[in-house]
Structures are given as C-alpha cells and as structure tokens.
Amino acid sequence: MNTHIIHGSDIPATLVSDTAKRLASEPGILKFTFHTMDDRHLERKVEIPLQDLFDAGRRFREAKRIPKEDFVITLTEPANAQNYYASLNPADTRTGFVHAGEWKEYIECEPELPIAFTIVNLLVAYHTCPTFEQMNHFLHHRPIGCANDLCNNKREVIFKLRTGDICARCVEAMQRSGWSDLGIDHAMRIMSTLSTDMRFNRYFKPVMEPSGIHVDMDEATLILPDYDLLNIPLQPLDLAFYVFYLRYTGEDGLYQIAFEQDWAHKALFEIYRKLRPLSENDRELMISVRTFSNLQVREQSRSRIKRNFISVLGPRLAKPYLIEGARGKPTRTGIPISKVKVVNFAYWANLPDRP
C-alpha cells in the first residue's frame, strides 16, 4: 500500500524532503511518495474550501490512475475555511488533506514532525473505521491521548502528538478491519518515534547538557556524576581505549595512523597498566595495547563501548559519549576534556603529548 502526498510549489522543498525523511525513519511496509502538482484551486488563498482540497486529491487520483487501495493526501500551506488541521474526505476516505502551516504557533519543534505524524494518523483513522459514519460513532470525542482522538484544531491535537499512542480498543478495531499486524506495527513505530522527537524538542533540548565523566582508575569504573552516578560497565582494555580517546581526542579527533605510533602505545600501556587485570605482566600488557594497531580490534572495542553506553543511557543521551567518525577520517568523542575527571592516576598529567 502506497500513500501519495501531493503539494503545490508553495510548500518549501526542504519541508517536503524533511517530512519524507521522517516518514522513512522506521523501516516497514508503509510507503510514502511525494508529488509536486500545479493546481489553481490550491494557489495561495487566504482560506481554501474543504471541497477544493478533496477535489485536488480526486483529480490527482484520476489523472495518475492511482489504485483505489492507495491513499492520496494533499499537503496545503494556506488554511482551510473550517481551520481543520487534517481530514479525510467523507465521500472517499482514502483521500484527505493535512494543513502544513501554523504548527510553530502550537508546538516548539520542527514542523515536519507533526506533519508526518498527522499523515500517518489519517491512515490509522481509516483502518480503524473505514467510513465517516463509523469514525463519528467509534473514535474518541473526549481526548484520551490516542491517535484516534477526534480533535477539532491544532491545540487539541497536541495531547496525542505528545503520547504517540494508539489505545488497545483502536488496535483491535484495526485488526478487525483487516489491516495486517505489519501495517499496524509500522504505523505505531513511526508515530512513536515522531512523538519522542517532538517531546525531546519541546521539553528537553534547551536545557540538556551531557554529564561529565569520572574515571576511577583504582576501581576501573566510569561514572556519570550528573546522571545519578550511573556506571558504564566496560572491561579494562575497552576502558583503557576509551580513556585514551578522552585524553587525546581533542577538537581535531584522532587519525587511525596514531594507533601505529610509539607515543600512542606508550600512553595506552600506562593507562592499561593502571586498570590491568592482576594476572598480566608488563610484557603481556604491551602486547594487548599493540593490538589496537589493528583496525578490526579498534572497531570491535568501539562497538562494545557504544553498546554499553546505549544500554545504560539509550541512543539519544549516549550520542555525545560515543567514538564517532567515518573510516579514513578522524574519530572523536563529543565530550571535551574539561568535563573529564580521572582519579587515582598520578601519571595522568605526565602521559606523552600527542605529536
């Protein structure tokens, strides 16, 4: 099943591409295709009659011979006469529209987030109740935070944008209507991801700062003091590799060739010697740290570090702490050295300088 989203030239190209990316953020069976169209009925009016919006979808369906099972959604910049944020056509509920304008007056986030959410929401409403009569009877007149809340305007829709949820009653209705579990799951994942991004933008982005890092070399532990003293579990060799990055990553990052150089081997050796298992002697320690000359060893360690940070913090909060960078390019963490405290390691200040 494909959803065709049609729009005039007054919709910015960046908004179209950003909305398309949001709809493609979760893999699955739902497909979304955008089309630019010239339609005099949609050209820059103060208010557009609802019927003009529905007729634009009908004309596109007929001209392009769109299969009847596909959806056609018109994306419009000007408001409509009823000031609806979205609606399906009562005469053809596989055709509808979404108003792309004015979202910033109601929610502090990128406009493509609520626009993409609302497009998927129309699919959910149809598959819950395929006719307008059924929708009016079944869907929620009193908002409960379900995607199928019947909201009259953008202010009322904010509740379901924040929850990104579909109630069990509506999921059961979608199953009874014959929508596959693959379709339901895909729609729910897209809406949940969009809702999470909207909540993050609205409530957290202006104030969130990554926690500093405290590394206790005696205990071989990495603690995030500003995140309730969370511990990131890392094996000593991975922790030595990570501490090395904290010490040397800098603004320019580290090129891979650094790990083939003597200064890096010496620094890794001193860090690992402080963290080492008691069973290893100095010769074995040097052999271990020299393995980081091998790209595959570094990538494996980097992957383990990433997995452990994400398992504790989740992907969003973990991002600044990860070692990132494309192959052949400098790699770095997003945490500046000023936020790093290493305790019980007198040699820290005397580690070799980076060339």
Instruction: Please write the tens of the pLDDT for every residue from 62-86.
Output: 999 999 999 999 999 888 878 888 9
Instruction: For residues 60 and 138, give the distance between their C-alpha atoms in angstroms, rounded to a whole number.
Output: 30
Instruction: For residues 158 and 144, give the distance between their C-alpha atoms in angstroms, rounded to a whole number.
Output: 12
Which sign, positive or negative, has the C-alpha torsion 110, 42, 64, 59? positive
Whether the Cβ atoms of residue 96 and residue 71 lie closer than 8 Å to each other: yes
Q: Where are the domains of the chain?
A: 2-204, 213-350
CA count, 13 A, side-chain hemisphere, 58: 13
Query: Coil, helix or strand for 4?
Result: strand
pLDDT exceeds cutoff 50 at 267: yes
Q: Average pLDDT in the 235-248 region?
A: 92
pLDDT value, residue 192: 93
Q: Average pLDDT in the 179-206 region?
A: 83
Q: Average pLDDT in the 316-344 region?
A: 86
In our burial notation (b when 16+ CB lie closer than 10 A, e otherwise), range 229-263 reads eeebebebbbbbbbbbbbbbbeeebbebebbeeee
Among residues 355, 176, 174, the alpha carbon closest in space to that of 264 is found at 355
Phi first, then psi: give them for residue 127, nearest 5 degrees.
-75, -15
* Chain length of the chain: 355
pLDDT exceeds cutoff 90 at 300: yes
In angstroms, the Cα distances linking 171 to 163, 167, 214, 237, 331 are 15, 6, 46, 48, 45
> Helix and strand tally (H, E) in the chain?
11, 11
Percentages helix, strand, coil for the chain (3-state, rounded to 5) are 50, 15, 35
Q: Average pLDDT in the 211-216 region?
A: 93
Query: Coil, helix or strand for 48?
Result: strand
Pairing of strands 2-7, 31-36: parallel
Whether the Cβ atoms of residue 148 and residue 174 lie closer than 8 Å to each other: no
Binning pLDDT at 50, 70 and 90, where does residue 207 land?
Answer: very low
pLDDT, tens digit, 9 for 90 and up, residues 113-157: 999 999 999 999 999 999 989 998 999 988 788 999 988 666 678
Instruction: For residues 265 and 259, give the distance between their C-alpha atoms in angstroms, rounded to a whole number.
Output: 7
Query: Coil, helix or strand for 229?
Result: coil
Pick the more confident residue, 148 or 314.
148
Among residues 321, 301, 300, the alpha carbon closest in space to that of 310 is found at 321
Q: Which fold has domain 2-204?
A: Collagenase (Catalytic Domain) (3.40.390)
CA count, 13 A, side-chain hemisphere, 25: 22
Binning pLDDT at 50, 70 and 90, where does residue 321 land?
Answer: very high
